[in-house]
Amino acid sequence: KAGVTQTPRYLIKTRGQQVTLSCSPISGHRSVSWYQQTPGQGLQFLFEYFSETQRNKGNFPGRFSGRQFSNSRSEMNVSTLELGDSALYLCASSQQGQVANTEAFFGQGTRLTVV
Amino acid sequence: GQNIDQPTEMTATEGAIVQINCTYQTSGFNGLFWYQQHAGEAPTFLSYNVLDGLEEKGRFSSFLSRSKGYSYLLLKELQMKDSASYLCAVINGQNFVFGPGTRLSVLP
């Protein structure tokens, strides 16, 4: 079956702009989690969506938001981009999500560069 | 608070055995995962421990001691393709908390 698909793979934006990233989970998976990965901070949890509802949220400012659609596809939005937002953004899908301790499958990520 | 520690880098020789340690202090614990991530690629699942003891899967084994807040990943018969970052992640009941990752270099 198809894996987790993230689009776009690469993105360059300027400070102050906003950006929307997309994640299509594995068919049948209802949970989508988003992570930011930087060389200095490692993988940091942004938020998790399950059945169109945000179930968990990490410690990121309100500029980072997301949503999930009825087909489980999820989008992440970052407004008023800052240079420090440059990172690899990964999404992970799983059947029941983190509360059920099930394995998460990661997408290839979107490499965002803010200039 | 949430804190997971791993060594930053390790080097080993092809054919050898290497142990990557992970210590954690989290507000809750519902299990520990190990992921492998090659440069420029997505993390891939290696193992899951929720009870104390050793889980073996081919050349990879993972150990957990909940009382000590400690886990290790053991890689046997190292191959060049094992050069990657290894991420330890704890589920604390609310979300995954990832360690900084250990970059393993396998030398010929």
Q: How far is B22 from chain A (nearest CA, A)?
A: 14
Q: pLDDT for B30-72, tens place per residue?
A: 889 999 999 888 899 899 899 999 999 899 999 999 999 999 9
Burial of A21 (0-12, 13-18, 19+ CB in 10 A): buried
User: Which of A42, A45, A104 shows the shortest C-beta gap to B99?
Assistant: A42
Please name every residue paired with A111 in a beta bridge, in sequence order, or none if there are none.
A10, A88
Average pLDDT over chain A reads: 91
Cβ neighbours for B91, distance < 8 A, ≥ 6 positions apart: A98, A101, B29, B30, B31, B32, B33, B97
C-alpha angle A72/A88/B29, rounded to 5°? Answer: 70
Give the chain A residue whose CA is nearest to the CA of B89.
A43
Q: pLDDT for A5-39, tens place per residue?
A: 999 999 999 999 999 999 999 998 988 999 999 88
Question: Which of A7, A10, A98 has the highest number of chain B CBs within 10 A, making it the mutation to test binding with B?
Answer: A98
Q: Quick one: pLDDT at residue A98?
A: 57
- Full DSSP string of A49-90: EETTEEEEE-S--TTEEEEE-TTS-EEEEE-S--GGG-EEEE
Q: Is B100 on the interface with A (CB under 8 A)?
A: yes
Q: pLDDT for A34-73, tens place per residue?
A: 999 988 778 898 999 999 999 888 889 999 999 999 999 9
